[in-house]
């Protein structure tokens, strides 16, 4: 961006949005869009994705189109913009006919700067036709990861947004999302026809956030009370897996003298709004909530998030703990989890009508979450690596950094897994790799049976090998290539792998039966 247009953009940021300066990658993303080029921006939740398209929409001639899947968030955003004096409106299934007509009049008079639409609304042929008569400044596609059928949020209509490339040539399109590992980024690029669009991937680090996780005893209810009581007089959010769970926990916290409230989708709207307002205004309240709580809630001084029940995925985990410490002051994310939770999450997938491929990806996501929670590696670094960040250092703040867990020394076993993965050259998935280590492959090829790693792993159970493989994936020593839903295991970071081979890097892990035989 030229100095002049940067100044102009900064001026709009100050005058319209009230922020003193750009954060992170905002200025770079805006420069790309201002230059009329397509772009993909991956910024963490709360990272300020909206101004990346709002400012170009205000500065470039024409109407800025924002495609968003969440009507509730759309309504919030538009209300905020209108309050800030921006000519913004939305068209969705909840808009009244008179309001629609008025909005179209403004669109066609060229007096509207920003229009929010749902994907299915936009994709109606008459809508596209009518919009093709109007000069557009930018097309922003929010929550772009919804295009990926591998994720939790897949929305089939997002697949069709690719046609916008052909329908509106010359209009810069900006895809934004908070969650995009390398695979999802590829899906977004392909699904939205972004071609050679530049990618802007922000660091996912949250230096103010200290993460920890604990295996829970029983329901974990007592531990949650203990944790919350120790954080009395600070605002916090406690996530529970069920509506009943939130009610029960809130009641127990109240009995212990904490200003706690339950929040879930089963409460009537008035009560929910009252509780939300009370929470936002309070500097000590505890919100005990299902994940219905959070979308669009912006309370900067949440000091802790406790997961009384674990989140659904690493994406959900980061988003939920990420609601703490938005003001940049120290905050905590504490997760309680148990083997039963994982079994439940896997069983739940069994009950869903999913293709084999999608199911395999979802199963892997559950495993990865629990490998993270149960693993001994730096939690922050593991999450950041998961989101595709490279060259990530340990955080020095999480429980594992501060108190490295003492597991069994599995360096030798890690060496076995790594050399097996190396010899098999990324051709096998987890199950086959374990069979190979155990020497239990049915009818192995002469090549496989002849490898020195075939059958070297009798000392661990299949379950422990799997756990170790998951851990090595998290530590970046192994890499899992999704391979259309049949993941294959290959070597990860070459430098780190060499360090393990040479014995310079030890690998510790937990086993179901204590320590491996022969390890002293």
List the single partner that 140 binds among ligand ADP, Zn ion, none, CB under 5 to 8 Å by kind: none
Cα distances (angstroms) measured from residue 427 to each of 368, 421, 447: 20, 8, 13
List the single partner that 378 binds among Zn ion, ligand ADP, none, CB under 5 to 8 Å by kind: Zn ion
Which listed residue (401, 462, 491, 496) binds Zn ion by CB under 5 A?
401
Distance in Å from the first CA to the final CA of the chain: 63
Q: Which of 198, 132, 189 is nearest to 166 (CA)?
A: 132
Element (DSSP H or E) covering residue 337: strand 331-337
Which CB atom, from 323 or from 379, has the smaller least distance to ligand ADP?
323
Query: Among all chains, which residue has been given the structure tokens 């299915």?
Result: 120
Angle among Cα 137, 142, 145 to the nearest 5 degrees reads 135
Cα distances (angstroms) measured from residue 102 to each of 91, 95, 99, 108, 122: 11, 11, 5, 10, 17
Q: 407 burial class (0-12, 13-18, 19+ CB within 10 angstroms)?
A: middle
Check residue 23 for interaction with ligand ADP (CB under 6 A): yes
Which CB atom, from 51 or from 171, has the smaller least distance to ligand ADP?
51
List the single partner that 471 binds among Zn ion, ligand ADP, none, CB under 5 to 8 Å by kind: none
Which CB atom, from 34 or from 107, has the smaller least distance to ligand ADP?
34
DSSP symbols for 115-171: EEE-HHHHTSHHHHHHHTTS-EEEEEETTGGGG-TTSTT--HHHHGGGGHHHHSTTS
Check residue 398 for interaction with Zn ion (CB under 5 A): yes
The β-bridge relationship of strands 39-42 and 198-201 is parallel
Q: Contact 351/270 with Cβ under 8 angstroms?
A: no
* Residue span binding Zn ion (CB under 5 A) among the ranges 47-55, 386-394, 453-461, 512-520: 386-394
For the record, the structure tokens of 84 come out as 């800030």
Shortest distance (Å) from residue 397 CB to Zn ion: 6
Cα–Cα distance measured from residue 238 to residue 250, given in angstroms and rounded to the nearest whole number: 9
Which listed residue (141, 395, 477, 489) binds Zn ion by CB under 5 A?
395
* Residue span binding Zn ion (CB under 5 A) among the ranges 169-177, 334-342, 380-388, 476-484: 380-388
Check residue 209 for interaction with Zn ion (CB under 5 A): no
Which listed residue (273, 298, 327, 329) binds ligand ADP by CB under 6 A?
298
Nearest residue to ligand ADP on Cβ basis: 48
201 Cβ neighbours under 8 A, 6+ residues apart: 42, 180, 185, 388, 389
* Residue span binding ligand ADP (CB under 6 A) among the ranges 17-25, 123-131, 250-258, 449-457: 17-25
Check residue 47 for interaction with ligand ADP (CB under 6 A): yes
List the single partner that 47 binds among Zn ion, ligand ADP, none, CB under 5 to 8 Å by kind: ligand ADP
Shortest distance (Å) from residue 456 CB to ligand ADP: 48
Which listed residue (12, 25, 39, 51) binds ligand ADP by CB under 6 A?
51
Which listed residue (7, 15, 19, 506) binds ligand ADP by CB under 6 A?
19
Shortest distance (Å) from residue 326 CB to Zn ion: 20
List the single partner that 19 binds among Zn ion, ligand ADP, none, CB under 5 to 8 Å by kind: ligand ADP
Cα–Cα distance measured from residue 492 to residue 471, given in angstroms and rounded to the nearest whole number: 12
List the single partner that 108 binds among Zn ion, ligand ADP, none, CB under 5 to 8 Å by kind: none
Please say whether the dihedral angle defined by the alpha carbons of residues 282, 284, 290 and 295, taken in this order, is positive or negative. positive
Q: Contact 175/165 with Cβ under 8 angstroms?
A: no
List the single partner that 441 binds among ligand ADP, Zn ion, none, CB under 5 to 8 Å by kind: none
DSSP symbols for 477-515: SEEEE-TTTS-EEEE--HHHHHHHHTTSS--EE--TTSS
List the single partner that 49 binds among Zn ion, ligand ADP, none, CB under 5 to 8 Å by kind: ligand ADP
Check residue 365 for interaction with ligand ADP (CB under 6 A): no
**Contact positions vs Zn ion (CB under 5 A):** 378, 380, 394-395, 398, 401
**Contact positions vs ligand ADP (CB under 6 A):** 19, 22-23, 26, 43, 45-51, 298
């Amino acid at each position: 961006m030229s100095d002049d247009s940067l100044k102009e953009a900064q001026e709009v940021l100050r005058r319209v949005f009230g922020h003193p300066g750009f954060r992170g990658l905002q200025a770079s993303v805006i420069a790309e869009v201002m230059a009329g080029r397509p772009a993909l921006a991956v910024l963490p939740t709360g990272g300020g994705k909206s101004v990346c398209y709002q400012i170009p929409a205000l500065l470039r001639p024409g109407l800025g189109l924002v495609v968003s899947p969440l009507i509730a968030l759309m309504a919030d955003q538009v209300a905020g913009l209108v309050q800030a004096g921006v000519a913004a409106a939305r068209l969705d299934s909840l808009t009244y006919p008179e309001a629609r007509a008025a909005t179209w009049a403004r669109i066609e008079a060229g007096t509207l700067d920003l229009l929010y639409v749902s994907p299915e609304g936009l994709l109606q042929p008459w809508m596209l036709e009518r919009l093709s008569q109007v000069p557009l400044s930018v097309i922003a596609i929010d929550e772009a990861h919804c295009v990926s059928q591998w994720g939790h949020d897949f929305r089939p209509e997002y697949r069709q947004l690719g046609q916008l490339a052909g329908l509106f040539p010359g209009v810069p399109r900006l895809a934004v999302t908070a969650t995009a590992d390398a695979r999802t980024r590829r899906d977004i690029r392909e699904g939205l026809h972004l071609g050679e669009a530049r990618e802007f991937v922000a660091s996912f680090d949250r230096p103010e956030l200290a993460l920890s996780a604990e295996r829970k005893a029983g329901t974990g209810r007592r531990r949650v009370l203990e944790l919350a009581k120790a954080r009395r007089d600070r605002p916090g959010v406690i996530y529970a897996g069920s509506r009943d769970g939130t009610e029960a926990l809130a009641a127990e916290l109240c009995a212990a003298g904490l200003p706690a409230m339950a929040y879930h989708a089963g409460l009537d709207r008035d009560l929910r709004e009252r509780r939300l307002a009370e929470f936002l205004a309070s500097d000590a309240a505890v919100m005990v909530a299902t994940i219905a709580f959070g979308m669009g809630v912006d309370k900067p001084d949440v000091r802790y998030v406790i997961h009384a029940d674990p989140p659904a995925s690493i994406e959900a985990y980061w988003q939920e703990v990420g609601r703490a410490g938005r003001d940049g002051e120290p905050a905590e994310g504490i997760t309680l989890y148990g083997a039963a939770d994982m079994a439940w999450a896997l069983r739940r997938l069994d009950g869903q009508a999913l293709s084999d491929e999608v199911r395999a990806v979802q199963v892997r996501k559950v495993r990865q979450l629990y490998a993270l929670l149960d693993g001994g590696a730096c939690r922050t670094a593991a999450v950041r690596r998961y989101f595709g960040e490279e060259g990530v250092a340990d955080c020095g703040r999480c429980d594992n950094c501060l108190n490295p867990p003492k597991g069994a020394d599995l360096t030798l076993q890690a060496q076995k897994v790594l050399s097996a993965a190396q010899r098999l050259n990324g051709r096998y998935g987890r199950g086959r790799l374990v069979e190979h280590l155990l020497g239990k492959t049915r009818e192995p090829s002469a090549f496989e049976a002849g490898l020195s790693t075939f059958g070297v792993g009798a000392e661990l159970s299949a379950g422990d090998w799997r756990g170790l493989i998951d851990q090595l994936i998290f530590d970046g020593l192994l890499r899992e290539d999704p391979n259309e839903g049949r993941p294959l295991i290959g070597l990860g970071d070459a430098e780190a792998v060499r360090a393990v081979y040479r014995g310079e890097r030890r690998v510790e892990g937990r086993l179901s039966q204590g320590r491996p035989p022969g390890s002293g």
